[in-house]
Structure 1
Amino acid sequence: MAEQVKMEEIDRISDLHDSILIHILSFLSTKEAIKTSVLSTRWRYLFDLLPNIDFDLEEDLCRKNIKSYSTDVIENYMCSVDKMLLFCNTTNVNKFGFKCWIRMIGSDRFNGWISAAVDRGVKHLDLSTSVLPSSTLPIFTCKTLVSLKLGKYFVLNVPKDVHLPNLKTLHLHSVGFLNDDSVKGLFSGCPHLEDIVTRKCDLGKIRNFHISHHLLKTLTIRYSYNSFQCWLWINAPNLTSLEYYDRLVAGYSMENLQSLTKAVINISACKTFRADATTIFKGICDVPSLVLSDTSLELLLRCEPLPVFANLIRLDLPCHLRFRYSNPLQNGLETLLSSLAALEKLEFYQFSALFQRKCLLVCCINSRPSKLQTLQMKSIVLERPSIS
């Protein structure tokens, strides 16, 4: 019996190798992993070896059913971040994520965290906070950074010496730019950039949103603010995927998009048609797969002359067409469909009068019997594909 009790008292978990224990801790939140330091001297500094540091104040408080943000709660939370980044001996940080909407953190403290992560060779930064960082946010010369995600109220004053040699992914959510040079400097300072996403960014202080990059592969632009006076310039010879969900901006320049394989164009409703808006379609006319919202299709059909989509294999129109009774646009649609010599798959929403079987059969199947292979109509509202 004594031998059995002795066996039960053996702490087999603590005897495991550090790498195994760190793997176990990786399934906990960062703050929960820190709490394991009180278990024993064996666990005191294990959390220090975690490669991924991720703090989400809202999620943490929600899990504890805490509805108020007292000074003590916030300070305790900030001390946990200090403990991980400033007062420990971690040599490498793979990821540092921080999400907090409370304006109770000074910019100096916040910048100190970012500097510590950069000094430890951080590869992935994911920052969403109401903190208003200083213009000298210490990330723009980080040689180890592979992905950078910034959200909520950042105003990017990009320095002239910006150099992120290994950055491949850049996601910006609700971010503003100080001026045109900040936009140019940011993209030109990332020579290996492959993926850009902008969402709800404020373009009010810039006139030219210039995305020119020879290695860029995917670009997503969603719902910019104050963009009515801004020109969008895209020059990306290796771009394969373009998703554009936005209002019309002041103008477009689309160049060197010969590698594009898929484009999703969802332009919000506009009160008046502008001829310069058709430039966006002329720039993507070589694409083999195209998804258009109703307003985007209407803009396309108003182009004179219509762009020729010689390589278009798949066309997806997941929309109710508001111009269903407009004969000029219906004629334009017939002209467009009849000109798609390479079209193999056409998807559309059945409830639009323009897309009756007879019209489609006349425009497509009879004219291109050897090419069109799939004709798919969406007949149930709940199954309507969403492109928003």
Structure 2
Amino acid sequence: MGATSSNPVRRCKLLDLEERRPIKRLKKGDSAHGNGILLEDRISSLPDALLGDILSFLPTKDAVVTSVLSRRWRRVFTWVTRLHFDDSPISLCVDRPCMPDSFPNFKRFVDNLLQLCHSHNITTFRLHFGRDDLSPYKFRRCKQGCLPQLNPMHLNTWMCFPLTRGVKELDIRARVREPGKLPSALFGCPTLEVLKIDVNLHLEVPLSFCLPNLKEFNLTLPVIPDGDFATRLVSSCPSLEHLTLDGYWNPLKPIIISSPSLRRLSVMTNCFGSSYLRTEVVLDVTNVEYLMYDDVSASHYCIGDLNALVEAEINQSVPEDTLNLLWRLSNVRRLILMRECVMALHCCESEQLKLPVFRNLNHLKLGCPFFISWYTLLMELLNCAPFLETLSLLEGIVFDDGEDDEQYMEMSGQECKSWSCTPIIPSCLASNLKRISVHDYKLTEWELEVVKYFLRSSLVLEELDVALECWKSETERISLNETLQKLPRASKTCSIKVRRGD
């Protein structure tokens, strides 16, 4: 190779990071002492605020790292408009510690960045720290000492930081060792469009709400405040479309949710005290399209028209309440009945089990109850869904409690075989049911009887998907697949897939 002056000129623009001046690049054929072309670093010449917008598309930690590029970029990250603080993968578990000294570094990082932040327009602010499974109203596997130690006033300062900077999306997921109070200022920010709160803090109901632009609100607390908190909150959000409420409720107070703008509603409640202390639930959400309702505390339902409802997920443990609720959902297209709900329906007397006809239902998902002989209920549900196209048994066909009761198992097997030989075929099996999926298949004889029934009776079945329990071996999977492939099937287009569960 010749001298440097004879090398071809590369077409990229370079910046001398030490001298902060553009490097002169030569045209092909120019001498080292000839007239070069001064090329400008156009990105670095952009205003700080615009560069901050660009860096906002990076993770916050990566945006801060750009400060080492040059003197020009040393403070650019302080103009970012999206802040996301996440302590992952920090674990403070006292039994299985991983990076136990990292949380003080995380705290120092958040403090320093908030102090240096120059942006007056923080559109998105996310603050995530503390393990997800340490909520005080859920099953606790770790000790209280696993939670990070943070002064309540310090946490409130972090959460309130973006409220005066035009924040549109605020996402707080935090659990601390000594819970304080959730700042009521969070409910007085008129610019908020998305508010997600998942904390182990306590909330005192604010005197007033100011959330005119809020479209999505997810609230997870140890205790949902008493009184008319939900009613006042929803009435203060005329643009609210998505609402999630999760926590303990006082069973003596009614739950009233009334909003014409709601499209998605999720209510997950638990109650204090004895089971007979139960409350009234009033839902006036005529335009809701998705309803997730997990409740053990309702004594009475007052639900308006749900003609716009497309999908519902229900987990109710009281038989009469479950039936009353299902009659309000008769127009639904996708229905998920979880374990408690299936068990409640099974406990109904045969003369009381009067299900509505789901004429729009095309997807049905069922949990498995704490017993085996629930096949009659399955038949009732199939008879009430004449246009069903997909059936999913989310937790298998039988429940395995680990007990080896041969007499009980034999009796259940006989009941299943009797059910599977019934000549009654629901209309959906004859004309519409195209896909059946079974999860947590346990390789029992009565499970095989149920599968035989579906293969023998489903005239238009296109796919049978069977997922074994995750600890089943590959040999067992192959053996089951060979067995199922040999079974006679009514539909010539039916394919059988056997796989190991996740």
Of 73, 87, 97 in structure 2, the residue corresponding to residue 57 of structure 1 is 87
Deviations 1:121-170 (A, max 9, x none): 00000112235454643121211101111012132323232020111111
The structure, 1 or 2, with the larger RCO (C-alpha pairs under 8 Å, 6+ apart) is: 1
Of 296, 302, 307 in structure 2, the residue corresponding to residue 258 of structure 1 is 307
1:138 alignment partner, SS class: helix
Higher Rg of the two aligned structures: 2
Of 67, 76, 84 in structure 1, the residue corresponding to residue 108 of structure 2 is 76
Question: Counterpart of 2:364 in structure 1: which amino acid?
Answer: D
Deviations 1:295-344 (A, max 9, x none): 42343462736142353332524444556547xx82x655554344x524
Q: Please name the residue that 1:15 is paired with.
A: 44
Q: Please name the residue that 1:119 is paired with.
A: 164
In the alignment, the residues of structure 2 paired with residue 385 and residue 104 of structure 1 have an alpha-carbon distance, to the nearest angstrom, of: 43
In the alignment, the residues of structure 2 paired with residue 323 and residue 167 of structure 1 have an alpha-carbon distance, to the nearest angstrom, of: 44
- Cα drift, residue 377 of structure 1: 3.4
Are positions 1:96 and 2:125 aligned together? yes
Q: 1:32 to 1:321 in 2, by over 3 A?
A: closer
Q: Please name the residue that 1:221 is paired with.
A: 267
Alpha-carbon contact 1:57-1:77 (below 8 Å) kept: no
Q: Please name the residue that 1:309 is paired with.
A: 357
2:192 alignment partner, SS class: coil
Q: 1:28 to 1:313 in 2, by over 3 A?
A: closer
Consecutive unaligned residues of structure 2, counting only runs of 5 or more, are 18-40, 131-146, 399-415, 442-465, 470-502
Alpha-carbon contact 1:155-1:176 (below 8 Å) kept: yes
Question: Counterpart of 2:359 in structure 1: which amino acid?
Answer: N
Question: After the TM superposition, which residues 1-388 of structure 1 pair with which residues of structure 2 at under 5 Å, given as runs?
Answer: 10-11=16-17, 12=41, 15=44, 17=46, 21-22=51-52, 25-26=55-56, 28-59=58-89, 67-69=99-101, 73=105, 75-83=107-115, 87-101=116-130, 104-130=149-175, 132-134=179-181, 136-199=183-246, 201-204=247-250, 207-222=253-268, 224=270, 226=272, 228=275, 229-231=277-279, 232-247=281-296, 249-267=298-316, 274-300=319-345, 302=348, 304=352, 306-320=354-368, 325=373, 330=376, 334=379, 336-340=381-385, 342-349=386-393, 351=397, 353=416, 359=422, 362-365=424-427, 372-378=431-437, 381=440, 383=466
- Cα drift, residue 15 of structure 1: 3.0
Q: 1:376 to 1:357 in 2, by over 3 A?
A: farther
- Cα drift, residue 245 of structure 1: 3.8
Consecutive unaligned residues of structure 1, counting only runs of 5 or more, are none
Stretch deviating more after TM superposition (254-263 or 90-99)? 254-263
Q: 1:77 to 1:362 in 2, by over 3 A?
A: same
- Cα drift, residue 23 of structure 1: 6.1
In the alignment, the residues of structure 1 paired with residue 129 and residue 373 of structure 2 have an alpha-carbon distance, to the nearest angstrom, of: 50
2:111 alignment partner, SS class: helix
- Percent sequence identity is 22
Length-normalised TM-score, structure 2 = 0.62
Deviations 1:214-244 (A, max 9, x none): 1111122346464854533322101111123
Question: Counterpart of 1:141 in structure 2: which amino acid?
Answer: G
- Cα drift, residue 55 of structure 1: 0.9
- Cα drift, residue 96 of structure 1: 0.7
Question: Counterpart of 1:378 in structure 2: which amino acid?
Answer: S
Alignment length (residue pairs) = 368
Q: 1:49 to 1:230 in 2, by over 3 A?
A: farther
Question: Counterpart of 1:338 in structure 2: which amino acid?
Answer: N
In the alignment, the residues of structure 2 paired with residue 209 and residue 223 of structure 1 have an alpha-carbon distance, to the nearest angstrom, of: 10
Q: 1:306 to 1:275 in 2, by over 3 A?
A: same
Alpha-carbon contact 2:53-2:81 (below 8 Å) kept: no
In the alignment, the residues of structure 1 paired with residue 434 and residue 14 of structure 2 have an alpha-carbon distance, to the nearest angstrom, of: 68
Question: Counterpart of 1:209 in structure 2: which amino acid?
Answer: I
Q: 1:167 to 1:385 in 2, by over 3 A?
A: farther
In the alignment, the residues of structure 1 paired with residue 163 and residue 424 of structure 2 have an alpha-carbon distance, to the nearest angstrom, of: 62
Alpha-carbon contact 1:111-1:137 (below 8 Å) kept: no
Length-normalised TM-score, structure 1 = 0.77
Please, what is the CA RMSD of the aligned residues? 3.9
2:219 alignment partner, SS class: strand
In the alignment, the residues of structure 1 paired with residue 231 and residue 321 of structure 2 have an alpha-carbon distance, to the nearest angstrom, of: 23
Alpha-carbon contact 1:125-1:149 (below 8 Å) kept: yes
1:164 alignment partner, SS class: coil
Q: 1:111 to 1:346 in 2, by over 3 A?
A: closer
In the alignment, the residues of structure 2 paired with residue 91 and residue 188 of structure 1 have an alpha-carbon distance, to the nearest angstrom, of: 30
In the alignment, the residues of structure 1 paired with residue 320 and residue 73 of structure 2 have an alpha-carbon distance, to the nearest angstrom, of: 67
Alpha-carbon contact 2:269-2:297 (below 8 Å) kept: no
Question: Counterpart of 2:255 in structure 1: which amino acid?
Answer: F
